[in-house]
């Protein structure tokens, strides 16, 4: 690459993996005494996937990575960097990214994890975008993988009924003048970190009989507050992104927004004044898969023909931290 010339990064391959185990709404409704159809009415979710007992986050990530690499016609030895976004890693350390590196034998790659809750993929995309533009690397494997089912309290409907497991991956390389990542934005607000959190297992609340009895190793969520803030921030983030890039909402061919809850997606669409058909929906069949929801939905949309070459795609996410972000991609 000539000095001073920057390249535009592009997503050159996508892949995803969903566990085989299906958890239908009926099972949850019967277990916690909810009326039939209540979960679908409250969330838009019909079923979700949970990892098998022998599957961990790195296993799901590896399966998604292999599919993305095949789609991109990229060899394991060509990968310069592996980024895994997750809040449900195999273990505290080594990183899940290093375990994936081992699994796929990507010996030439550096590897690290990133934690930004449901916004993780957008944060990872921001880092990958900067790396490619700097010229320091050429090929990045970005994976978002979650096994949130291991951190769910089955007596808490607010989390039990929404979370699913899965992994999505993209290969990011050099694009061209017609396609690529046009813009990425990320933000956070730590003053509202208590809205959704998992307190146990860290240095603040290390595992003990007390933390186990208090249920600190389960995800806890203040759903009402989260809904209001999520709708507001997603609306503002999407509006700011299109304004910043000098385009209108009508120019976007497909919106892929974090698949948290159908009511959130509908509320965002209403505030933006866009038809719901422009927002890709995958949560009805797989639930809320946290940071992996966007790359899974992206892969499904590409393979299902909803995204075509030349389309303008807007990605947006909101999650714990609080964190949020967005990206504009020309396919």
Residues 6+ apart with CB under 8 A from 256: 279, 280, 294, 297, 298, 301, 313, 314, 315, 316
- Token readout for 39 is 């979960």
pLDDT value, residue 288: 98
The residues with which 114 forms a beta bridge, in sequence order, are 85
- Structural domains present in the chain: 9-178 (3.40.47.10), 182-330 (3.40.47.10)
Active-site choice (25, 98, 118, 261): 118
Q: What is the DSSP pairing of strand 81-85 with strand 110-114?
A: parallel
For the chain, give the secondary structure using H, E and C. Answer: CCCCCCCCEEEEEEEEECCCEEEEHHHHHHHHCCCCCHHHHHHCCCEEEECCCCCCHHHHHHHHHHHHHHHCCCCHHHCCEEEEECCCCCCCCCCHHHHHHHHHCCCCCEEEEECCHHHHHHHHHHHHHHHHHHCCCCCEEEEEEECHHHHCCCCCHHHHCCECCEEEEEEEEECCCCCEEEEEEEEECHHHHHHEECCCCCCCCCCCHHHHHCCCCCCEECHHHHHHHHHHHHHHHHHHHHHHCCCCHHHCCEEEECCCCHHHHHHHHHHHCCCHHHECCCHHHHCECHHHHHHHHHHHHHHCCCCCCCCEEEEEEEECCCEEEEEEEEC
Q: Which residue, among 202, 196, 210, has the nearest Cα to 156 in the 3D structure?
A: 196
Q: Which residue, among 241, 235, 302, has the nearest Cα to 273 in the 3D structure?
A: 235
Q: For residues 104 and 65, is the Cβ–Cβ distance under 8 A? A: yes
pLDDT value, residue 6: 60
Active site residue 288: yes
Active site residue 250: no
Residues 6+ apart with CB under 8 A from 145: 57, 58, 60, 61, 64, 84, 85, 86, 96, 166, 167, 168, 291, 292
Active site residue 118: yes
Would you give per-residue pLDDT tens digits along the chain (331 residues)? 334 446 799 999 999 999 999 999 999 999 999 999 999 999 999 999 999 999 999 999 999 999 999 999 999 999 999 999 999 999 999 999 999 999 999 999 999 999 999 999 999 999 999 999 999 999 999 999 999 999 999 999 999 999 999 999 999 999 887 899 999 999 999 999 999 999 999 999 999 999 999 999 999 999 889 999 999 999 999 999 999 999 999 999 999 999 999 999 999 999 999 998 899 999 999 999 999 999 999 999 999 999 999 999 999 999 999 999 999 999 9
For 147-189, give the secondary structure using H, E and C. Answer: CHHHHCCCCCHHHHCCECCEEEEEEEEECCCCCEEEEEEEEEC
pLDDT value, residue 160: 95
pLDDT value, residue 176: 82
Q: For residues 323 and 238, is the Cβ–Cβ distance under 8 A? A: no
**Alpha carbons 8 and 153: distance in angstroms, whole number:** 44
Q: Which residue, among 178, 81, 72, has the nearest Cα to 134 in the 3D structure?
A: 81
Q: For residues 8 and 180, is the Cβ–Cβ distance under 8 A? A: yes
Q: Which residue, among 57, 180, 174, 74, has the nearest Cα to 120 in the 3D structure?
A: 57
List Cα–Cα distances, 142 to 82, 139, 286, in angstroms. 6, 10, 21
């Amino acid at each position: 690459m000539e000095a001073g010339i920057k390249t535009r990064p592009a997503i050159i391959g996508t892949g995803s993996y969903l566990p085989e185990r299906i958890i239908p709404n009926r099972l949850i409704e019967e277990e916690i005494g909810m009326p039939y159809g209540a979960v679908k009415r409250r969330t838009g979710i019909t079923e979700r996937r949970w990892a098998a007992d022998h599957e961990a986050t790195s296993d799901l990530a590896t399966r998604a990575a292999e599919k993305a690499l095949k789609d991109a016609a990229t060899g394991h030895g060509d990968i310069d960097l592996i980024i895994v976004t997750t809040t449900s890693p195999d273990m505290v350390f080594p990183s899940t990214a290093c375990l994936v590196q081992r699994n796929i034998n990507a010996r030439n790659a550096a590897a690290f994890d990133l934690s930004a809750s449901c916004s993780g993929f957008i944060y990872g995309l921001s880092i990958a975008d900067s790396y490619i533009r700097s010229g320091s690397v050429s090929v990045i494997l970005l994976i978002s993988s979650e096994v949130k089912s291991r951190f769910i309290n089955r007596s808490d409907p607010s989390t039990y009924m929404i979370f699913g497991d899965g992994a999505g991956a993209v290969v990011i390389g050099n694009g061209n003048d017609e396609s690529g990542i046009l813009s990425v934005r990320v933000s956070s607000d730590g003053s509202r970190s208590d809205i959704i959190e998992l307190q146990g297992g860290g240095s603040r609340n290390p595992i003990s009989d007390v933390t186990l009895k208090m249920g600190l190793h389960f995800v806890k969520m203040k759903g009402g507050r989260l809904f209001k803030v999520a709708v507001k921030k997603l609306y503002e983030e999407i509006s700011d992104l299109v304004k910043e890039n000098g385009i209108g909402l009508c120019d976007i061919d497909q919106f892929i927004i974090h698949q948290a809850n159908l009511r959130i997606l509908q509320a965002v669409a209403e505030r933006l004044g866009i038809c719901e058909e422009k927002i890709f929906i995958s949560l009805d069949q797989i639930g809320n898969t946290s940071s992996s929801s966007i790359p899974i939905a992206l892969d499904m949309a590409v393979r299902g023909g909803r995204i075509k070459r030349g389309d303008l795609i807007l990605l947006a996410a909101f999650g714990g931290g609080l964190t949020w972000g967005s990206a504009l991609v020309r396919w």
